Amino acid sequence: MPSKPAPIKKAAKAPKKVAEPAPEPAVVPEAAPVEAPPAEPAPAEAAPLPADVEAAPAGAASPQEGEGEAAAAAPPADGEDAAPADGNLSDDGTEAAEAAEPEEPKAPSPPPPPPKEPTSAPVDLFVEDKNDTSVSIIWSQPEVIGLSGLDGYIIETCKDATEDWKAVNEDLQKSCRYAIKNQTTGDRLKIRVVAVNAGGRSPPVALPEAVLVKEVANRPKVRLPRFLRQRYVAYVGDKINLTLPFTGKPKPVVSWTKNGQSLDPKRVIIRSTERDSILFIRASEREDSGVYEMCVKVEDFEDKASLTLQIVELPGPPASLKIVDTWGFNVALEWTAPKDNGNTEITGYTIQKADKKTGDWFTVLEHYNRLNATISDLIMGNTYKFRGFSENKCGISEESAVTKDEATILKTGIDYHAPEYKEHDFTEAPKFTTSLANRATTVGYSTKLLCSVRGFPKPKIEWLKNQMIIGEDPKFRQICVQGICSLEIRKPVSFDGGVYTCRAKNHHGEVTISCKLEVRQPVIAEADKKK
């Protein structure tokens, strides 16, 4: 056909472009099995080649030898038109070449992951609440989760006496609490929970008993009295009568245990009513001590309360008491704790001594907390023995521990020399400490003069009037007590006025003191004068 020479000449250049990467055929075959998809070579083989492409030189690679795939993968040279891969022509009469992008080699594939395992079973499944149409349950997550993690939980139920387990939740439950709703009142349901992850279902955890779908009128509750919240202490032989009230409907089932074991009905009597339970012991013994637990149960709900009962008695005596050392007026003692503390702690010890001559016991230490002591202030020449008692909150032990040995306080040769004292010289010349004061009085009104004096030996006191010794004049009364000297002038007249002097003297000296006494006439009113 004369109209297609030009396109054929342009297509003749394609073999040169394909033949350029021919010297490196080894690179493409290695990557071809991994990266080249198997469907890509089919269009190239099915597409008809132009006439001048088929007449390529003998040195060019043929498509049958696998080099056609390399030619298709090789990029075209710059400035040259790529040969069309499918042999189709474009709208302007030229062939449209589709250039394929080269793919990078991939890294070696990693080893297969370890197999995924399910989690362990959930734990601590129990009923949280229930009513006439629903049951609320709660549980804890599995102890072993693993690398696969935890996706959620499936809650399954079936009626009692059947094994037709059905899931009640459409989606996996994420939390550890679920309410099973729309149930029939009076049904008994068996409930179990299964954990789910990428490894599958875990072993289930189920409630130990079937749950009755029924409203609980009032949950059980033990109301422990305040005085029983701490340790309850009683003495051996006391009567124990403890009342523990509780609430709950219908009537709760009451049970008691002691230290986790059932009670001995011969020792402990339990009396329960609809509102309380009484623990009664007729005569308590130390074996009755322990932790008592009361449990009230209404269907699947229960409440517990515990009380600690401690029966105590007087302790035994100290295990041993001995004299360790004796020196001077002192004795050192040591003892050990009693073997029987009366089921309570020892609070102290009492130590007594007795003189061998009299045999009377006297307490020297009381409420003493240590296991050794020194007894002092003992009498020289006496022989002593000692005994000790233990003490707890019940009191002092009835028996005592007595020392086997005796302590004798020996007499030692001591010469007593009385200290020499220098006598103080208290002698002193008379000295007035308070002087006489001038006085004025009225005729007929008695008056008194006062002064004070000291001195040793006691000074002799004399009173003088106008330098004349008064003496034993009955008009004057002279008194001197504890150094206080007084002169009383009875109903003085004008003649009694003058200078009065007090004189004190002893072996060491003499001293005098004076004052003036004025005796005035009484004032007479003018009316009295006219009469």
Residue pLDDT, tens place only, 77-92 = 444 444 444 444 444 4
5 shares its domain with 56 = yes
Span 479-496, average pLDDT: 92
The residue out of 281, 312, 343 marking a domain boundary is 312
Domain count for the chain: 5
Indicate if 208 and 222 belong to the same structural domain: no
Q: Which residue has the higher pLDDT, 32 or 332?
A: 332
Both 44 and 139 in a single domain? Answer: no
Residues 367 and 453 in one domain: no
Per-residue pLDDT, 407: 92
Establish if 528 belongs to a structural domain.
no
pTM of structure: 0.41
Tell whether the model's pLDDT for residue 514 goes beyond 50.
Answer: yes
Domain edge (last residue) among 71, 105, 139: 105
Print the domain residue range for 13: 1-105
Q: Do residue 58 and residue 11 come from a single domain?
A: yes
Question: 134 in the Ramachandran plot: left (φ > 0), alpha (ψ -120 to 50) or beta?
Answer: beta
Note whether residue 115 is domain-resident: no
Of 255-269, 498-512, 517-531, which range is least confident?
517-531
Q: Determine, yes or no, domain membership for 371.
A: yes
* Phi/psi at 164 (5° precision): -90, 80
Do 64 and 83 lie in one domain? The reply is: yes
Q: Is residue 390 part of a domain?
A: yes
**Same-domain check for residues 307 and 350:** no
Domain assignment present for 2: yes
What gap in Å lies between CA 504 and CA 454, rounded to an integer?
A: 9
Confirm whether 413 is domain-assigned. Answer: no
Would residue 80 count as lying in a domain?
A: yes
Using a 10 angstrom Cβ sphere, with 0-12 exposed, 13-18 middle and 19 or more buried, the burial of residue 141 is: middle
Whether residue 97 is found in the same domain as residue 144: no
- In angstroms, rounded to a whole number, what is the distance separating the alpha carbons of residues 140 and 352? 65
Give the pLDDT band (50/70/90) at residue 107.
low
CATH (domain of 348): 2.60.40.10
Which tens digits make up the pLDDT trace of 133-188?
A: 899 999 999 999 888 889 999 999 999 988 999 999 989 999 999 999 988 888 89
Using one digit for the tens of pLDDT, what is the confidence trace for 186-227?
Answer: 889 999 999 999 888 999 999 999 988 887 778 899 999 999
- Residue 458 sits in the same domain as residue 359: no
Radius of gyration of the chain (CA): 64
Domain end among 105, 139, 170: 105
| Beta bridge pairs of residue 305 | 294
Residue 7 has pLDDT above 70, yes or no: no
Are residues 93 and 69 located together in one domain of the fold? yes
310 Cβ contact list (under 8 Å, min separation 6) = 231, 232, 233, 234, 289, 343, 344
pLDDT for residue 74: 40
Tokens of 107: 């890294």
The answer to whether position 117 is within a domain reads no
Mean pLDDT of the region 402-431: 85
Query: 95 and 130, same structural domain?
Result: no
- Does the pLDDT at position 10 exceed 50? no
Is residue 428 scored above 70 in pLDDT? yes
Residues 197 and 224 in one domain: no
Determine the Cα–Cα distance for residues 531 and 526; give it in Å rounded to an integer: 9
How far apart are the C-alpha atoms of 391 and 398, rounded to whole Å? 10
Residue 190: both structure tokens together: 């068996």
